Amino acid sequence: MTYLIPDDVLTAHLAGEAVLLNLRTKQYYQLNATAAVIWTSLEQALEPPRIVDALVEEFAVDAATAQAEMERVIEDLRARGLVV
């Protein structure tokens, strides 16, 4: 499954974090380092297994932890209309 970022969501990448702006709702969102890696992976259209690999590599966590965190973050992003 590939997730898409709507055209009305803008991103600013900062040192280890990211800030999102949903132009439709005019709301800002600040992403921590973990969520920023997930977001960057979504921008690159990576499939979920590759996102898990990126988290494991970046944070030296096990795959199960990375998978759970990826699912949690993506569900939160979906609920806020930041990915479809």
Residues 72 and 40 sit within 8 Å (Cβ to Cβ) = no
pLDDT score of 25 = 96
Domain ranges of the chain: 9-79
Percent of the chain with pLDDT over 90: 95
Which fold, 9-79? Arc Repressor Mutant, subunit A (1.10.10)
Compute the distance between CA of residue 30 and CA of residue 52 in angstroms, rounded to an integer: 21
Give 3-30 pLDDT, tens digit per residue: 999 999 999 999 989 999 999 999 999 9
